[in-house]
A and B are shown apart, each in its own frame.
Chain A
Amino acid sequence: MTALLFVLNAAAFAAGQLLLKLAMSPHLLAPKRWPNWCYFAGGIAGLAVSFFLSLGLLQRLELSYFFPLQGANVFAVILGSMIFLRERPSRPLLVGALLVAIGIGLVSVSS
């Protein structure tokens, strides 16, 4: 259950960030399916869902354990950017993501 909530939290955070990016960069979507404010509202909603899910997770996990794991949100945003925004990750970005992954692995086994 905790792992599922963690994945949902990362997905809601990434969706919120991507929708806000689309709201602030209207040229990325041509033609646009919905008005700009829909993307903005969706972005805020995604971040709000992430906020409350993280509070639910904090009821189960230590802060010094949960907060570093939120670095995994970087992966969700990178993945979403590649799939939905057609962005290509640079080599430094992948190196940074690898370091974050190692760090998350170490924090995970420290529980």
Chain B
Amino acid sequence: MSASDSKLASPRFRRSALLVLLSQVFEAASEVLRKLGADATAATQLSVFPQWTGLSTLGSPWVWAAVVAALAAFGTWLVALRHLDLGVAFVLGSVVHIFVAAGSWLVLGEHISPIRAVGILFIVAGLVVVARSQADLETRTERTEV
């Protein structure tokens, strides 16, 4: 077993990876809740602000629940980063696109067409490539500093 394999198999890595996934579940929940709040306030003009500013959504409890979920995602993310490389965390975090698509379908009843699903997979692949290049850059920087 190589050093990198043993690192991936360590309980600390698995725990941190699970925390990243949990943070992305919170993030996806936050997005779905924001959408529910946006829909709930789309037809009402209770605010003095134009609709496009998004400020009218502050009257919806869904949006405040979304803020709580976003804070939970942020806190969980920070705890996970204590024992995980940033690049690895970002690669794992790309799974949020899958979670949001699943939430859109299951909770909001949106139709995910095959072409949209393929597009989402391309975006995830691109973000993984970007995150990996960032991780390599960080590793090289750390070696130079040592």
The residues of A with any CB-CB pair to B shorter than 8 Å are 1, 5, 51-60, 62-65, 67-68, 71, 74, 90, 92-93, 95-110
- CB-contact partner of A103 in B34, B37, B104, B123, under 8 A: B123
Q: Determine whether B69 belongs to the interface, using a CB cutoff of 8 Å to chain A.
A: no
- Chain A nearest CB: distance from B39 CB in Å? 7
Q: Determine whether B55 belongs to the interface, using a CB cutoff of 8 Å to chain A.
A: yes
With A64-B104, A96-B127 known as contacts, the answer to whether A106 contacts B115 (CB < 8 A) is: yes
What sequence of 0s and 1s flags, for each residue 40-52 of chain B, a beta carbon within 8 Å of any chain A beta carbon?
0110000000011
Nearest 5 CB-CB pairings of A with B: A106-B119, A103-B122, A99-B126, A55-B54, A96-B129
Q: Determine whether B92 belongs to the interface, using a CB cutoff of 8 Å to chain A.
A: no
Q: Which residues of B contact A52 (CB under 8 A)?
A: 53-55, 57
A92 to B57, CA, bound (A): 39
Q: Determine whether B32 belongs to the interface, using a CB cutoff of 8 Å to chain A.
A: yes
14 A-B residue pairs with Cβ-Cβ distance under 8 Å, sorted by A, are A55-B34, A55-B38, A59-B54, A60-B42, A64-B105, A71-B126, A92-B129, A93-B129, A93-B133, A98-B126, A100-B122, A103-B122, A105-B119, A110-B116
